[in-house]
Amino acid sequence: MTERYTVISADCHAGADLLDYRPYLASRHHEAFDAWAATYVNPWEDLAAPEAERNWDSDRRLAELEGDGIVAEVVFPNTVPPFFPSGSLVAPAPTREEFVLRWAGLRAHNRWLADFCAQAPGRRAGVAQILLNDVDEAVQEVRWAKEAGLTGGVLLPGVPPGAGLPELHSRVYDPLWAVCDELAVPVNHHAGSASPPLGDEPAARAVFMVETTWFSHRALWHLAFGGAFQRHPGLRLVLTEQGSAWIPGVLDMLEYYHGRLVAAVAPGTAKAATAEAKFGAGLAGSMGKGPKAVWRDHCFVGASFMRRHEALLRDRIGLDKVMWGSDYPHDEGTCPYSREALRTAYAGLPQKEIASMVGGNAARVYGFDLALLDPIAARVGPTAAELAEPLPAPPPDATSPVFAAGGGARVW
């Protein structure tokens, strides 16, 4: 029998059609929902008909993913939930009234998502959404999501500068980390969720593109230096659609600062061993271990549309940390050329290593049952022989940056 890879996309997106959220809202919110929906303006091109149906049409979605060689997916949000002015990833609630309504909207999305995942048992790991304005509410929603079978974990909202919320390193979030540790719920932090508002002029859009992944990376050093992993040893953090080539260099940088901050007093003197040590009082005890050890023991990367230069860094990133994603159904995603994208990234690498990055690691992190998925992959997955061959040329109409000329020079 031909060997085929079991491909699990660690980065896909879905959501309900606008009015289909209404039944998932408590009746007391229906009047407000009707008023909001009547003035709603779609902010995203990929939510326009007819392609928008890929977000909620279960049969179409399964067919397109299988046609792309993918048998299962981690499902992040995509459509705008009730009462939000834009994507919920980037819209904190500034007032109490808006907070109440937006929490209702996110709960509606989460309940819709549980039903959507149930339409394809074992093949969708839905990621529940929360807000951070009320940590107790967030904890309750994590418990509900676990009981409802949303195996993708929880989506950690960004806390951009000026958000009016405590920074992610704050211990105010400890109850959230504790419940995720207790229930083995992965904490996901997706790109685009933590940038401050910059405006809409051309320069602002360019600055956003340069900075957005950096702001997303901040969750790593906030939680690491904040000691969250020390206090909650089962906590797992997944950084998704932020690239992966940055990881070795950032870990080196974090390790450097950690070493300088926790340096002991110079032998035979009362003087600090480094200039930075005066800022690091108490850090060694609260962290418990250095940044590289934190990464090794607690962190993973959803390396969406992975590029060749990233794959060549897999040992420095951690082979067991890398999870490939197609970013379906976004324009920058690899569909319908995921096989070609996989060849671009992985051709010539050992089969066992490819198998880990394209599916095995995601199965372990999100609890997919490979005994269920392998028979499907035996029918639709890319073959080992296919992925062993370098791609001679990218598809002419491919839009994913994985196929971009000179993409190997990118560092993020």
The secondary structure of 118-169, three-state, reads HCCCCCEEECEECCCCCHHHHHHHHHHHHHHCCCCCEECCCCCCCCCCCCCC
For the ranges 7-21, 155-169, 262-276, 332-346, the lowest mean pLDDT is seen at: 262-276
Max distance between CA atoms of the chain, in angstroms, equals: 73
- How far is the C-alpha of 398 from the C-alpha of 391, rounded, in Å? 13
Q: Is the alpha carbon torsion for 270, 272, 278, 279 positive or negative? A: negative
- How far is the C-alpha of 211 from the C-alpha of 196, rounded, in Å? 10
At residue 244, the pLDDT reads: 96
Cis peptide before 267 (omega within 30 of 0): no
Closest CA to 330 of 50, 55, 49: 55
- How far is the C-alpha of 94 from the C-alpha of 100, rounded, in Å? 11
**Mean of pLDDT over the chain:** 92
406 vs 6 pLDDT, higher one: 6
Q: Is the alpha carbon torsion for 296, 297, 301, 306 positive or negative? A: positive
Q: Tens digit of pLDDT for each residue in 198-238?
A: 888 999 989 988 988 898 999 999 999 999 999 999 999 99
Token readout for 328 is 């379906």
At residue 171, the pLDDT reads: 97
Please, what's the b/e burial string for 248-263 (b: 16 or more CB within 10 A of its CB; e: otherwise)?
beebeebbebbebbbb
Bridge partners of 237?
Answer: 187, 299
- How far is the C-alpha of 249 from the C-alpha of 242, rounded, in Å? 14
Amino acid letter at 281?
A
Closest CA to 301 of 244, 253, 248: 244
Q: Tens digit of pLDDT for each residue in 34-86?
A: 999 998 887 777 777 788 999 999 999 999 999 999 999 999 999 889 998 76
Cα atoms in the 13 Å half-sphere on the side-chain side of 249:
9
The residue to which tokens 């719920």 are assigned: 185
- Confidence check: pLDDT of 112 > 60: yes
Token readout for 268 is 């035979």
At residue 164, the pLDDT reads: 84
At residue 368, the pLDDT reads: 98
Cis peptide before 329 (omega within 30 of 0): yes
Spatial neighbors of 399 by CB under 8 A, at least 6 apart, are 331, 332
Under a CB-based contact definition with an 8 Å cutoff, are residues 269 and 369 in contact?
A: no
At residue 90, the pLDDT reads: 54
| Confidence class for position 107, pLDDT limits 50, 70, 90 | very high
Amino acid letter at 351?
Q
The region, left, alpha or beta by phi > 0 then psi within -120 to 50, assigned to residue 260 is: alpha
Closest CA to 302 of 390, 355, 366: 366
Amino acid letter at 357?
M
404 vs 187 pLDDT, higher one: 187
Average pLDDT for residues 110-114, to the nearest whole number?
Answer: 98
Judge residue 341's burial from the number of C-beta atoms within 10 Å of its C-beta, 0-12 exposed, 13-18 middle, 19 or more buried: buried
Q: What percent of the chain has pLDDT over 70?
A: 93
Tell me which of 3.40.50.2300, 3.20.20.140, 3.20.20.120, 3.30.70.1710 is the CATH number of domain 7-409. Answer: 3.20.20.140
Average pLDDT for residues 15-43, to the nearest whole number?
Answer: 93
Spatial neighbors of 209 by CB under 8 A, at least 6 apart, are none
- How far is the C-alpha of 291 from the C-alpha of 296, rounded, in Å? 9
β-pairing, 128-129 vs 322-325, is: unpaired
| Confidence class for position 410, pLDDT limits 50, 70, 90 | very low
| Confidence class for position 194, pLDDT limits 50, 70, 90 | confident
- How far is the C-alpha of 157 from the C-alpha of 165, rounded, in Å? 11
Phi, psi of 196 (to 5 degrees): -70, 160
For the ranges 28-32, 39-43, 123-127, 340-344, the lowest mean pLDDT is seen at: 39-43
| Confidence class for position 409, pLDDT limits 50, 70, 90 | very low
Whether the model clears a pTM of 0.85, i.e. scores above it, the answer is yes
Under a CB-based contact definition with an 8 Å cutoff, are residues 156 and 141 in contact?
A: no
Q: Helices 96-118 and 135-148 meet at what angle, rounded to 10?
A: 10
Token readout for 172 is 């105010």
Bridge partners of 12?
Answer: 75
Q: What is the chain's Cα-based Rg?
A: 22
> How far, rounded to the nearest angstrom, does the alpha carbon of residue 119 sit from its chain's CA centroid?
22
- Confidence check: pLDDT of 289 > 50: yes
Angstrom distances, CA of residue 260 to CA of 57, 223, 224, 248, 270: 53, 19, 16, 19, 16
